[in-house]
Amino acid sequence: MGVSASGRLARVEHPASGSGQAIEAVAARVLSRYLRSTARWGVARYVDERGRALDSVDVRGALASRADGRPLLPVYWGADAIAVATLPFLGPPFLEAARRITFLFDETFGGRVCAGLVNQLGGQSVMLAPAGRPERLEHLSLVLRRGGSFAFAVDGGGPYFRVGTGVASLARALKAFVVPLACAATPAIPWLHRSGISFPLPRCRVTAAIGRPIDGSGPRQTVVEEIQAALDSLGHVVRSPVVPHGERREG
Amino acid sequence: MSTLPEQVRQIIAVELQIDPSRVLPTALLRADLGMDSIAALNILFAAEETFGLPSIDVKSLASITTVAEVEEFLRARVLAQAS
């Protein structure tokens, strides 16, 4: 649980440390080791929304704190979550971002495993009660009161590949910019789940596309449509078989 | 001076970025007006500020479904605050 007894958001020291969560703790460690070994011989390629190569300075800039102090909300499809999770193992830009930005996960098996992974990377995460539970409002209210930058799968829990209004409301409340991300690994093995999630295989090439920041202070429906369009477009970019620019491994 | 229902409807319209004429007492907050969890919290925070209410237990929002219920919910707290 990411909320302490005092009602303040707390760093998830080890979300899978409870007696009933030992499986998640083991799964997080296994996943961490797997991604680390997968990334060892993997390569990362960073591109913008038009498929143009970005270097590590560009990536750092896209995910860095803004000069105006407004927070960032990096968002991605749940299908890309494992590929996104591979990025910190492939180089410093995403590792630095993962340690600076708080991740939001639903209180599910997969969410607890992901939180364990973030914890192992030295990052922070907040667990949210599943949608429909009254506790979710409590957890979200603490997120709002705390403020800051948060990363999350925008279609977590479904419907998948659809942007809901929640992200736009959150961006508006936090006066944040939404940073759409898409990420795909090749080769990867699909997980039999309707979210479309897949696992990178050893020697994979991971392509991450970072879209232009979307100002969350705009009209809610417009923000939703912009995020949807950006994620759809970035998804095509990272899954394009054409490699328009050289690839590199950051390190 | 606006009445409590008018103020509540104005808060809902502003937070959901919709025309105030859509905020009818019988309107369903989620299905008709597109309210999500974060928007619900923003409405609550705005109401706390407008009516000078102490922090409300946000979990109590979970059972509220219509605009009229929001009005009643806030009216009860305003009265409790005044007494």
Q: pLDDT tens digits for A221-251?
A: 999 999 999 999 999 999 987 554 444 444 4
CB within 8 Å of A88: residues ≥ 6 apart: A94, A95, A97, A98, A121
CB-closest option in A173, A219, A221 to B38: A173
Q: What is the pLDDT of residue A16?
A: 40
ipTM above 0.95, yes or no: no
Nearest to A228 by CA among A146, A140, A162, A166: A162
Q: What is the pLDDT of residue A126?
A: 95
Residue the block writes with tokens 């390629």: A45
Is the residue at A243 inside a domain?
no
Q: What is the pLDDT of residue A1?
A: 39
What does pLDDT average to over chain B?
Answer: 95
Q: What is the pLDDT of residue A66?
A: 86
Q: Pairing mode, if any, of strands A72-76 and A124-128?
A: unpaired
Using the predicted structure, report yes or no on whether residue B32 has a pLDDT greater than 50.
yes
* pLDDT tens-digit series, residues A153-212: 999 888 999 999 999 999 999 999 999 999 999 999 988 778 888 999 998 999 999 999
Predicted confidence band of residue A5 (pLDDT cuts 50, 70, 90)? very low
Predicted confidence band of residue B83 (pLDDT cuts 50, 70, 90)? confident
* pLDDT tens-digit series, residues A17-64: 444 578 999 999 999 999 999 999 999 999 999 999 999 999 999 999
Nearest to A74 by CA among A145, A177, A172, A157: A177
Test A137 with B40 for CB contact under 8 angstroms: yes
Write out chain A residues lying below 8 Å of B62, CB-based.
Answer: 133-134, 137
Tally of structural domains, chain A: 1
Task: Supply the CATH number for residue A74's domain.
Answer: 3.40.1130.10
- Kindly report the nearest CA distance between residue A136 and chain B, in angstroms: 8
Q: How far is CA A140 from the centre of its chain?
A: 17
Is the residue at A143 inside a domain?
yes
Is the residue at A11 inside a domain?
no
Is the residue at A9 inside a domain?
no
CB within 8 Å of A215: residues ≥ 6 apart: A177, A223
Domain range enclosing A129 = 17-238
Instruction: Please indicate if any CB of chain B lies within 8 Å of the CB of A140.
Output: yes
Is the residue at A4 inside a domain?
no
How far is Cα B44 from Cα B31, in angstroms, rounded to an integer? 18
In chain B, the percentage of residues whose pLDDT exceeds 70 is 99
Three-state DSSP class for residue A246: coil
Q: What is the pLDDT of residue B1?
A: 67
pTM for the model: 0.88
Is the residue at A48 inside a domain?
yes
Is the residue at A1 inside a domain?
no
Instruction: Please indicate if any CB of chain B lies within 8 Å of the CB of A95.
Output: no
Interface test with A, best of B18, B41, B42, B45 (most A CBs within 10 A): B41
Q: What is the pLDDT of residue A131?
A: 86
Is the residue at A2 inside a domain?
no
CB-closest option in A133, A141, A172 to B58: A141
CB-closest option in A134, A140, A221 to B41: A140
DSSP code of residue A79: G
The mean per-residue pLDDT over the stretch A56-82 comes to 94
Alpha-carbon distance values, A26 to A33, A120, A128, A165, A229 (Å) = 11, 12, 21, 35, 37
Interface test with B, best of A141, A154, A162 (most B CBs within 10 A): A141
Residue the block writes with tokens 């997969």: A110
- Taking only residues 11 to 40 of chain B, the set having a beta carbon closer than 8 angstroms to any beta carbon of chain A reads 16-17, 34, 36-40
In chain A, the percentage of residues whose pLDDT exceeds 90 is 76
The mean per-residue pLDDT over the stretch B59-64 comes to 91
Cα maximum dimension of chain B: 35
How far is Cα B4 from Cα B51, in angstroms, rounded to an integer? 9
- Kindly report the nearest CA distance between residue B77 and chain A, in angstroms: 19
- Taking only residues 169 to 228 of chain A, the set having a beta carbon closer than 8 angstroms to any beta carbon of chain B reads 169-170, 172-173, 219-221
Partnered with residue A206 across adjacent β-strands are: A44, A185
Instruction: Please indicate if any CB of chain B lies within 8 Å of the CB of A141.
Output: yes
Q: What is the pLDDT of residue A242?
A: 54
The mean per-residue pLDDT over the stretch A112-139 comes to 93
Write out chain A residues lying below 8 Å of B59, CB-based.
Answer: 134-135, 137-138
Residue of B nearest to A128 (CA): B37
